[in-house]
Structure 1
Amino acid sequence: MDIPAALDEQRRLGDDWADWLDRLPRLCDDLLDEWRLTPTGDPMGGRASIVIPVGGVDGVAVLKIGFDGLPETSQEHLALQHWAGDGAATMFRADPRRRALLLERLNEQDLTQEWDLQACEIVAGLYARLHRQAPPRLRTLTGFLRPWLDALERDAADVPMPPRLVAHALARGRAFVDDPASDGVMIHGDLHYGNVLAADREPWLAIAPKAMSGDPHYEIAPLLWTRWEEMSGYLRESVQRRFYTTVEAAGFDDERARDWVIVRTVLNAHRTVVDAERMRRPLTDADRTWTTTCISVAKAVQR
C-alpha cells in the first residue's frame, strides 16, 4: 500500500510519526487481508490518518487507520458506536488497538462550498443529534484540559499572544475544570466544515470525531478558524457573524461559548510553541500565521 505524499510529510513531526508511517503499509495490507476487503480506489491521506475506499461483506465502505500517538483520537470508535449512524457516519467494524475503523462510505462533498452561515446552521443541527449523555468510558474534557492549562501556565511568558488573553484563558479554563457542567455530554471535539460530508441516506453526516465527555459550548471554535481566507477584509464582523449564528441556532449561552473559544485559541497557540520546541526548530512562517489567526479569533469574540 502506497502512503499518500501529504500524509508521509508528517514524518517531520518526530520519530513517533516516522515509526508509524514506516509500519503503516504493512498495517494496511494486514487489515485488508484480515477483514477481507478489496481496495476500490486510491488511498487518501489526512493529517493523521489514511482512508482507503474498499468493498467487502458490508458493501462499499472505507477503511480508516489513524495515527496511534494522539490521545484525543483514541476513542473515536466509542463515539461512532454510541451514535450508531445518527448524525454521523456508520461504523461497521473497529480495531481500537490499531486505530482501524471500517466506515460507511460518504460522498466527497463537504460544507466548505456552502455559504458559511448556512454551514454553521447545519453544524448546529448536528450538535442537537450528537450531543447526548456521554458513556462512562469516554474520557473527559476536563481530564484533557487540566494538564493543558498546567503546561500553559508554566510557559505563559513564551506564548506569542497578548498576556491578557493568556491570563483570561487560564482563569476561565481553571473555572471550567472546576465546573461540573464541563463534563457529561458527548461532544465531537473537531466539528468544522471539512468534517461534515454529504451522504446518500441523509444530507449531511459528521466524521472524524475527537470525542470526549464534555461541554457542548466547547464545539464552536473550529467553525471560526477554518475557511479563514474567506474573511479577508471583514475579519471581526465575519467571525462574529459565524459565532452568533451558531450560538443562536444551537441554543447556547454566548458568554460560555465565548470563553471556550478564547481558551481553545490560546491553547492552540501554546501547542504551536511546544511542537516547535519538541522538534528543536524555530517558529516558522506557518506557525506565526496560525498564531495570528488564533489571536484574531480570540479578539473578535470578545465584547
Structure 2
Amino acid sequence: MTFEPPQRLVRTLGETYGDAVAAKWLGELPDATQVAVSRRKLDVERVQSPGGRSSLVLLVRQQDGTPAALKVAPPFARPDLERAALAHWNGWGTAQLLDGASADGSLLLERLRPEVSLHSLPEAKALLEAAGTVRRLWVEPPADHPFETVEERTARQADAMRATAGTAEPDALALVDAALAARAELVVSPPELVLLHGNFRQSKVLGAERSPWLAVGPEPVVGERAYDLARLVRDRVEDLVAAAVGPSSTRRRVNRMADSLDVDRARLLGWTLFRAVESGVRALRAGRRQDGELLLEFAGWL
C-alpha cells in the first residue's frame, strides 16, 4: 500500500520516541497497514489527515459496506491499552471497538465524523458538551486491569522535568518546582481510582451518528477525575493568552469545571498546573519554543 504518512504523525512520533525509533516503524508502516487491511477485507477510502499523533488512521468500508476507521499504531504507543479501555467502555461515551484482539497493533473502530470536533462549537457550548462526554468515561476499571496509575505516569514525567530543569530559565525553573510540588502533594491520597481517558480535550470528541458526541484516542490511566479535566482546562489556550482577561478567565474556567463535575477545585488547579508545565517543558525540549512559552505563560496564571 502506497501513501504518505501525515506530517503530524511523523513529527510527534519523532519527538516522543526519538527519530530513529519513529523512522524504523514508519518504514514498516505500509506493509503493516496492508496486512491489517487485507486480513479484514476492507476497502480503503483515504488516509485521514492530519489524523492521529501516534497512529495512522484510515477511513475504510467493511465487506458489507459499513463505514469504519482503521487505526494502525506502533507497539510502543501501547495500542493494546487503548483496545482494553475501549472494550471496557463498550461504546459508552467512546467510539465502538468493532473487532477482537489483534496482534498487529491495529484497531477497527466505529466511523465518527473526523471533520467535526467540539472545536467547531462556541467555547461555552464546547465545554458543556465535553463535560457531558467525559463524565460517562469515569467508570470502575476492570479487575486485574493493565493500566498504569496517574501516580506512575506522572512519576516518569516528573523525572523528565527534573532532568530538563537544569537548562531552564529562572521563570521556567520556578514553574517546574511549583508543578513538582503540586504533584507530590496530589499523589499522596487520591480521592478515587476510576478509569480515565488520559488525554481528554475538545479535539478528542467527534460528532457521531448514534450519539451527538463520542470520545476517541484514549491514553487510558487509572486515577482521579481531576487529572482528566486538567488537560481540558487549557483548551483554546491561544485565545486565553491573547485576551486581556486571560488569568481571571482561566481561574473562572477551573472553578466552573470543578463545580459542574463535582471535583475539588484545589486538586483540579494542581493537576492543571502540573500538566501545563510538563507539556510546556516537553515542547521546549522538542524545539517547539512558541508552544512551550505559551503553555508556561498559561501555567503562570494558576
Q: The TM-score by the shorter chain falls in which range?
A: 0.7 to 0.9
Is residue 127 of structure 2 the alignment partner of residue 117 of structure 1? no
Structure 1 pair 151/52, CA: closer, same or farther in 2 (3 Å)? closer
Is residue 67 of structure 2 the alignment partner of residue 70 of structure 1? no
Matched pairs, number = 289
The alignment yields a C-alpha RMSD, in angstroms, of 2.3
2:261 aligned partner: 250
Could you tell me which runs of 5 or more consecutive residues in structure 1 were left unpaired when the two chains were aligned. 277-282
Name which structure has the greater RCO, CA cutoff 8 Å, separation 6+. 1
Equivalent position amino acid for 1:26 in 2 = D
Asked if structure 2 preserves the Cα contact closer than 8 Å seen for 1:6 and 1:46, the reply is: no
Deviations 1:43-82 (A, max 9, x none): 43332211111111572111011233335x6511111111
Shift, 1:127, TM fit: 2.4
1:19 aligned partner: 24
1:236 aligned partner: 247
Is residue 300 of structure 2 the alignment partner of residue 299 of structure 1? yes
SS at 1:40 equivalent: strand
Separation in 1, partners of 2:83, 2:278: 26
Is residue 181 of structure 2 the alignment partner of residue 171 of structure 1? yes
Deviations 1:223-248 (A, max 9, x none): 24332333322322333343233222
1:210 aligned partner: 219
Deviations 1:232-271 (A, max 9, x none): 2232233334323322221211100000011112222332
Structure 1 pair 7/273, CA: closer, same or farther in 2 (3 Å)? closer
Asked if structure 1 preserves the Cα contact closer than 8 Å seen for 2:198 and 2:228, the reply is: yes
Asked if structure 2 preserves the Cα contact closer than 8 Å seen for 1:224 and 1:297, the reply is: no
Asked if structure 1 preserves the Cα contact closer than 8 Å seen for 2:44 and 2:59, the reply is: yes
SS at 1:75 equivalent: helix
Deviations 1:199-219 (A, max 9, x none): 111111101001101111012
Task: Find the partner of 2:55 among 49, 52, 56.
Answer: 49
Asked if structure 1 preserves the Cα contact closer than 8 Å seen for 2:284 and 2:292, the reply is: no
Is residue 209 of structure 2 the alignment partner of residue 200 of structure 1? yes
Deviations 1:128-179 (A, max 9, x none): 2100112232221111122222332343332345333222211221223332
Separation in 2, partners of 1:138, 1:150: 20
Asked if structure 2 preserves the Cα contact closer than 8 Å seen for 1:7 and 1:50, the reply is: no
Equivalent position amino acid for 1:50 in 2 = L
Equivalent position amino acid for 1:152 in 2 = M
Q: Is the deviation greater in 209-218 or in 160-169?
A: 160-169
Could you tell me which runs of 5 or more consecutive residues in structure 2 were left unpaired when the two chains were aligned. none
Q: Is the deviation greater in 41-50 or in 211-220?
A: 41-50
Matched-pair identity in %? 28
